[in-house]
Amino acid sequence: MPQMAPSSWIMIMLFTLLFLMMTTSWVFFFNKKKEMLKFQLTKKTKKMVW
């Protein structure tokens, strides 16, 4: 086994972790935005109803 293998594997792991973190943060952000939009929509509809 060459000496470079473990370090490259660690680098790949770090990149995958970073990618996962980024994706999770984006998903969380979009979910929050959706909830905010829903809340605003419900507020508008309530104003229209009442």
Helices (H), the chain: 4-49
Mean pLDDT rounded to a whole number for the chain: 83
Q: pTM of the entire structure?
A: 0.51
Return the pLDDT at 2: 56
* Residue whose pair of structure tokens reads 């970073």 in the numeric block: 18
Return the pLDDT at 4: 62
| Higher pLDDT among residues 21 and 50, named by residue | 21
